[in-house]
Amino acid sequence: MKQNPPNARFWVYPRCGSPVKLTLRPDQELTVYYTWSHEEGWSAEGYTWSHEGDHLREEHFTDGCDCDGRLSTTTIRTCRLARLVEIEPYCETSLDYTVMSELEAAWEGVRWPDWQRQPFPGSYRRDYTAEAAGY
């Protein structure tokens, strides 16, 4: 009898001020996306998390335009289900989840997934101004 993969429960910090615990069922996907304007233009950021059987996939994307032109980035990371609660907050390998040290007590007990960054073509950076200049 074939067993279905388990649900994935994991912590994320999508730049909203505090950690959030998510649960994804097998083959489920969740996207969070927000935009804002500022004195030089606009910015956008988002995350997509997907449960892909034996691992999770996280896609972090940014986009924006300021006085230097438009710049977009995408970073893809994966984590095996067995490694969803591996990393303590504030350690060197959890750089994406760094917050001010005075908030550390509020994060007690939070353990982050052991995300592994995926190389190009999954992760990339696109500078529209540099492209227009022929770089």
Task: Tell me if residue 117 falls in helix, strand or coil.
Answer: strand
Query: What distance in Å separates the CA atoms of residue 119 and residue 74, rounded to the nearest whole number?
Result: 11
Residue 71's pLDDT is 95
Residue 110's pLDDT is 79
Residue 10's pLDDT is 93
Query: What distance in Å separates the CA atoms of residue 57 and residue 117, rounded to the nearest whole number?
Result: 10
Residue 92's pLDDT is 42
Residue 91's pLDDT is 47
Largest CA distance in the chain: 59
How deeply is 39 buried, as exposed, middle or buried, from its count of CB atoms within 10 A (0-12, 13-18, 19+)?
exposed
Query: What distance in Å separates the CA atoms of residue 50 and residue 32, rounded to the nearest whole number?
Result: 12
Residues 100-123 pLDDT 10s: 454 565 667 778 899 998 877 778
Please enumerate, as own/partner, the contacts of 37-43 that have beta carbons within 8 Å and a separation of 24 or more.
38/66, 40/66, 40/67, 41/65, 41/66, 41/67
Residue 72's pLDDT is 96
Tell me which residues of the chain have a pLDDT lower than 50. Answer: 91-100, 102
CA separation, residue 79 to residues 6, 38, 70, 126, 135 (Å): 14, 34, 30, 25, 34
